[in-house]
Structure formats: C-alpha cells, structure tokens
Amino acid sequence: MKIISWNCNGAFRRKFHLLDQYKADVYIIQECEDPEFSSDQAYKSWAKNYLWVGTSKNKGLGVFTSSDNALSKLDLSLDHWADGLKWFIPFKFNGQFDIVAVWTQATPTGEYRYIGQLYLLLENNLSILESVLFIGDLNSNKIWDYKRKGKDHSACVSLLESFNTHSLYHKLTQESQGSETTPTFYLQKNPSKKYHIDYAFVPERFIARSKLEIGLIGEWLELSDHMPLFIDLG
C-alpha cells in the first residue's frame, strides 16, 4: 500500500496532478480545498472519493483515493472539546487498514495546542493504538518540548511506542527524535529554517517491509513549504 502525505500550502486544485505519477493508493493532504465547494472541475473530477474536514472551505484536511477503493470513516472519539479535536480524519481503507490523517492545530489553551491535540486523541482512544497508523503534519518536534506542560511531542511518541507503534522515519534511519537530518518543512520557504514536523507512525508489524522517502527541496519548495512523505507499507 502506497500513501502520500503532503501539506500542499494551499491551492491544491493547481497541484494535485503532480502527484498522479506516483500512483499512490491514498493521498493525505493538509491545507487543501473542500472539493464540494470548488469551482475547479478538474479538481472535482479527480476528487471523487474523499473525506475532508476544516473550518474554511478553502483550507482543510483531506483524504483522497480512486473511485474503485473503499474509503469509510473510522469510529474514534474526537469530542474532547465541544467543537472537537482539530484536525483528524480517522478512516478505514478497503476494510484492511485503519489510519488517522493528521493536521494538528492551535487552540486557545496553550497546553493543548498542536501536539497536545494529538495527545488528547491518543489518550481518548487507547484501545486502538496498536492497530492504527497516524500520518500527517503534526506541527511538532522534540526540540519544542520545553514549551509544553507534559502533553508534548515526547509524551506522544512514548505513548505510541508503549503500544508498539513507531515513527517509520526514525525506525528506518535510526536517528533520534529531535536530531533528524532530513527536514520536512522550511519556514517561509527559507532553506536555512528547516524542521522535521511531518510523520508516519505505524504499528510494529509494518516496519520491516516498509519504506519512507521525503521529497527533495529542489523539486517541491516552489510548490510548498512542506516536503511530501512517500510511504510504502510493502
């Protein structure tokens, strides 16, 4: 199974065709438009089988696949706040893979901003942590743990690892959290402001046969401040 996760930095209607050559089974796209309200007919035609969530129709989290695949919502608790945790799409692919697409957001409560949103989701759904893949833009890295009060990046990693779910990048490279050599994000598209904030956390059973590649800055920086993740679960 092949998955691409990419924060497209908006205007996905003008970029989606660039991903077709990779022939992924699932595309997890942050900062994309809701196809239902798009006036771009090519985009609407491409996005025939999808799930989407967001506050603005112009900027949300989407999951896309071809029309011959089965895409359905996965029943997880996202109700920690009155308006829900932001943004996550729990879904089941072809009845075989349980995945949570991720694009964490800010909140008025600093303790639960960004990675804190993921921590709350994990805490509220402990029973599924050994079987679900968590993939996307976490807006997080261990280097910012000092800004949190316990619900930080390291706490999420530790909780997932206690259920035998691991960062695929770190397993394959043997690099430590916070010491990544390959960035996924360039702040303001500045090559000198580089960070690793996009991840694929997968259950242990997938690790040995899986691959992960990160898009090259020379190919993708003009399109987005994030590099895509190319994930092959073997």
> Is the whole-model pTM more than 0.85?
yes
Q: Which domain holds residue 223?
A: 2-232
SS3 label, residue 44: helix
- Angle 153-161/115-124 helices, nearest 10 degrees? 30
CA 79: distance to chain centroid?
Answer: 19
SS3 label, residue 134: strand
- Whole-number Cα distances in Å, 160 to 3, 30, 73, 118: 20, 22, 21, 11
**pLDDT of the chain along its 234 residues, tens only?**
999 999 999 999 999 999 999 999 999 999 999 999 999 999 999 999 999 999 999 999 999 999 999 999 999 999 888 788 999 999 999 999 999 999 999 887 677 889 999 999 999 999 999 999 999 999 999 999 998 878 899 999 999 999 999 999 999 999 999 999 999 999 999 999 999 999 999 999 999 999 999 999 999 999 999 999 999 998
Q: What is the CATH number of the domain that holds 68?
A: 3.60.10.10
pLDDT of residue 120: 94
Please count the structural domains in the chain: 1
- Whole-number Cα distances in Å, 140 to 86, 99, 177: 14, 19, 11
